[in-house]
Amino acid sequence: MRAIEFCAAVALCIVPSSQLLAADEVSVERGLYVSIIGGCHFCHTEGYREADGKIDPEKALKGSSIGWQGPWGTTYAANLRDSAMGFNEDKWVDHLKNKVNLPPMPWYQVQAMSDSDLRSIYLYIKSLGPPGELAPFYREPGKEPRTPYVTLVPPQTPKKK
């Protein structure tokens, strides 16, 4: 290795980037960040998609009254402010590491998160204020929802030629 390349490599190693340090950070700010890149607001914050990703602090993570209907029945993105009320930070991490939900909740993505991600999401949710109303209750398959809903059909296997 030539000296100039060696210096560049060492410089990269010894200058800690703030992003790398932030990976273990547990904070409300990090929780906001993870909730955005994790897509939680996409379903759990009403009006988020319509507002091109602008979070209304009044509605943030309070759940949604628009159902997701499929072979599993009709589910509603839960009011996470209310969900978090039943847990302390440690129990929240345990709960999310083990919880399997009905579609379209991407529970497998949440299970893949680091403890610091899950702790930060908890702190962020707790910072948001009172939970307000619950999301509508799950409806079994065949039962017509009383709210607007999105229909998700199972993936169609392309026909073989």
Binding status of residue 69 toward ligand HEC by CB under 6 A: no
One residue of 48, 59, 69, 78 binding ligand HEC per CB under 6 A: 78
Size of site (CB under 6 A) for ligand HEC: 23
| CA 65/CA 46 separation, integer angstroms | 8
Binding status of residue 44 toward ligand HEC by CB under 6 A: yes
Q: Is 30 exposed, middle or buried (0-12, 13-18, 19+ CB in 10 A)?
A: buried
Tokens representing residue 85 in the block: 């009320």
Binding status of residue 73 toward ligand HEC by CB under 6 A: no
73 and 149 in contact (C-beta within 8 Å)?
no
Residue of 159, 125, 155, 148 lying closest to 69 (CA atoms):
148
The smaller minimum CB distance to ligand HEC, of residues 155 and 158, is found at 155
Minimum distance from residue 8 beta carbon to ligand HEC (Å) = 37
> What are the φ and ψ backbone dihedral angles of 45, each rounded to 5 degrees?
-120, 110
The smaller minimum CB distance to ligand HEC, of residues 109 and 114, is found at 109
Stretch that binds ligand HEC, among 10-18, 24-32, 102-110, 149-157 (CB under 6 A): 102-110
Stretch that binds ligand HEC, among 23-31, 33-41, 50-58, 146-154 (CB under 6 A): 33-41
Instruction: Tally DSSP H helices, then E strands, for the chain.
Output: 8, 3
Residue of 133, 131, 137, 153 lying closest to 67 (CA atoms):
137
Minimum distance from residue 100 beta carbon to ligand HEC (Å) = 8
Minimum distance from residue 118 beta carbon to ligand HEC (Å) = 8
| CA 125/CA 130 separation, integer angstroms | 10
Residues engaged in binding ligand HEC (CB under 6 A): 38-40, 42-44, 68, 75-78, 80, 83, 96, 101-102, 104-106, 109-110, 121, 138
